[in-house]
Structure 1
Amino acid sequence: MRSINLSDLHLARARLKGADLSRVDLGGADLSWSTLQGADLSDSRLWRVNLTRAWLEKANLTRAWLREADLAEARLIGADLTDAKMGAANLADADLTGARLDGADLQDSSPPAIPDSREANLAGARLVDADLKSASVSIAQVLVATLGGDSRLPSEVAADPLVSARLAPATPSD
C-alpha cells in the first residue's frame, strides 16, 4: 500500500484532471480553484484541505478523510463520497448534484457543513446510511435527496410530516 505525503503544499489552480491521488496525504494543502474532474482521491487524507471552488465532478472520494475541509463553492457533481468522513467540512454553495453520499459521516458537522437549500444543491444526491444527525440540514434538502437504509436525521427534520411520508416504506397493494 503506497502512501505519499503532499500535505501543506500550495497547489491552487492545479490541473489534476483524472489524476490518481488515492491514498495520498494532502492534509492542509491548498487545492483551491483546482481541476480534479474524474480524479481518484479514494482513501486519501484531505483533513483541513482547501478545495474552495475546486472542480471535482465525477471524482472518486470514497473513504476520503475530509474532516474540516473547505469545499465552499466546489463542484462535486456526480462525485462519489461513499463512506467519506466529512465532519465539520464546509460545503457552503457547493454543488452536490448527483453525488453519492452513502455512508458518509457528517457527524459533528456544524453550520454551514450542510448549508441551507439556497446554498447547496443536493438534487439527486444519494444519502443512504449518511449520518446527518448533527448536521445543519433543511427539509427542502432532504426532500430533493434520495434517502434510505439507516439514514439518521436531525430530530426536527425527521419529525416533519413531509419527511416522514417520504421515508415511509412502500407497502405492496393486494
Structure 2
Amino acid sequence: MRETPKSRIALDAIKAWKLIGILIAAALWLVSIIGMILYYFWGFPIWIVASIGAISAICTYLFIFLVPKLRWKKWRYEILEQEIYIQHGILITTRTLVPMIRVQHVDTKQGPILKKYRLASVTISTAASTHEIPALLEEDASDLRDRISALARVDEDDV
C-alpha cells in the first residue's frame, strides 16, 4: 500500500467548516423552535418535538465540534510529476490517483465562507470526473493550480 500523502489543507479549514456547521445547526434549532410553537399552540405530539430537539443537539455537537477536526486530520494530498494523490474520509478513507495526462483543466473556487478565512479550493477536472482539494490558503491554491496546469501541459507535450 502507498504511503499517506504529505501535504495538508489549511488549518483554517476547521474554522470554515465549523461556521458551516453553525449554519446547519441553526436551521435545525429553528425547526425545533417551530415544533415547540406547534406543540404549545396546536397540541403537536411532544415526542416529535423532543426527537427534533435531540437530533438538533446531536447534530450541533457533530457538525460544530467533532466532524471539522476529524475531516481536517484526514484530508491529505500530494502532487507528483505523473499524478495527483488525494486522500480523505472520516469513516471510509478514499484514496484517489488522478493521472496528469488525464487532467483537462484546473480551477480555484471560493465561496463567501472560504473568502472570510482567505481560503480557496482547487478543482481538477478530467473527462470522467472532477476532484477537489478544499480549503487551501489563497496563495497556495493559486500556486497549486498553476503547478498542476504546468505538469499536465508537460505530459500532453510528451505524448
**TM-score category (smaller protein):** under 0.3
Structure having greater relative contact order (Cα 8 Å, sep ≥ 6): 2
Counting strand residues as a fraction of each chain, which structure ranks higher? 2
The structure where helix makes up a greater share of residues is 2
